Amino acid sequence: MIHLALAAAAATANPHPADLKTFKDWIVGCDNVRSCQANALGPDGGDDFLTLVLTRSGNPADAAVLSVPLPEKATPGARFTLEVDGTQIAEVAASKDYSASLRLTRPILAALANGSQIALVDGKQARRGETSLSGLSAAMLFIDDQQRRIGTTGALKAVGTKPDTTVPAPPLAPLIAVPPVSPKPPRTITVAAATKLIGPDSATCDYASSKVAPRSYRLDAAHSLVLIDHPCGNGAYNYFTSVYVLDESGPPRPAQFDLAPGMGESSGDGTGDLTNGDWDAKTRSLSSYEKGRGLGDCGSSESFVWDGRRFRLTEQSAMGECRGSNEFIRVWTARTK
């Protein structure tokens, strides 16, 4: 009975996304199932660098992988080398999506941890990008610590003699029960009602980007979703949408979230506006994507599903530094059924 109670508590507890850590020219983070990612960062305010990404899952037997961006006109199969401080450490081949994945062996990890600069070199010995390795060693140590790998033979940085079989398995992601799909059409509200809900500051202005036009979607047999995009009061690249839920009768009520979406405060159950958000009918999820600047290389993104009472966070990814890396780092994940 105790185990069942703990499982039920874990399934309904509010999410706690992890914080990102910046170590000089690298940023790193892990989610609640110990999957970790470290990104290279460019010079402050710049984006002309080799945007490397190191990832490793929390599974004890999984190796770390380095994702390497390649020139967009690279012919699939074309060979490139990676050099650390002028010494070749690996060779990669271009794929159809102009990238390559490199499994990180012990010699490569040692070179990355002890080097100062890494460069991508093409077959004509021309440098096609480079980035600083300053801070990567600390990021690798952070991942080892989060994944309980310190002192093991498979650690990225903190290598020891303990076998990888001593690494504990990562925890399971929370499981969210989603109500079945209903064929009934959604309830909706009038334009006048939607205008009143979001208020004059968000609904009417001389520079309005659109007209108030509520959008409705069926959540389950007893509830409908209403999204109201704000014509006014938006930012230069962040647009806001209010979220309401309709029962089969009665007035709309602000949607409840287990973590405030968009640019709201991260506090327990509460309401909030989506930022650059929308409803995906295929996945039955709400999305929110907050940009720290127009390039989209910093900010956060969230995805929520409806559990019959409130919207629950299924994924959050973030990038805390506006330094050219747009591969956001996942800091929370959940499963659905």
Strand partners, 69: 99
Residue 284 CA to its chain's centroid (Å): 18
Compute the distance between CA of residue 46 and CA of residue 56 in angstroms, rounded to an integer.
Answer: 27
Q: Which amino acid is at 142?
A: F
- Whole-number pLDDT of residue 241: 97
Question: What is the average pLDDT across 300-320?
Answer: 97
- The SS3 of residue 109 is helix
Confidence band, pLDDT 50/70/90 cuts, at residue 13: confident
Does residue 278 surpass a pLDDT of 90?
Answer: yes
For residue 164, the SS3 value is: helix
Average pLDDT estimate for 214-220: 98
Give the pLDDT confidence of 131-162 residue by residue, as tens digits. Answer: 999 999 999 999 999 999 999 999 999 999 99
Place of tokens 């999506």: 97
In this predicted structure, what is the pLDDT of residue 45? 60
Measured in whole angstroms, how far is the alpha carbon of residue 113 from the centre of its chain? 25
Q: What residues does 301 pair with on adjacent strands?
A: 289, 317
Mean of pLDDT over the chain: 93
Give the chain's domains with CATH numbers.
15-166 (2.60.40.1880), 175-336 (no CATH)
Look at residue 154 in the predicted model and tell me its pLDDT.
Answer: 97
| φ and ψ at residue 146, rounded to 5 degrees | -65, -35
Q: How far apart are the first and last CA of the chain?
A: 23
Residue 39 pLDDT > 50: yes
| CA gap 103, 316 in Å, rounded | 26
Long-range contacts of 165-172 (CB under 8 A, 24+ apart): 165/60, 167/60, 168/60, 169/58, 169/59, 169/60, 170/33, 170/34, 170/35, 170/57, 170/58, 170/59, 171/32, 171/33, 171/34, 172/33, 172/335
**For position 11, what pLDDT does the model report?**
55
- What pLDDT score was predicted for residue 33? 98
Confidence of residue 266 (pLDDT cuts 50, 70, 90): very low
pLDDT single digits (tens) 42-51 = 987 666 799 9
What is the Cα–Cα distance from 336 to 209, expressed in whole angstroms? 36
Confidence (pLDDT) at 145: 98
pLDDT in tens, 77-125: 899 999 999 999 999 999 888 889 999 999 999 999 999 999 999 999 9
CA torsion angle 292 294 300 304 (round to 10): 130
pTM equals 0.93
List the one residue out of 243, 219, 218, 220 whose CA is nearest residue 230.
243
R_g over Cα of the chain: 23
In the predicted structure, residue 10 carries a pLDDT above the cut 80 = no
Residues 6+ apart with CB under 8 A from 77: 93, 94
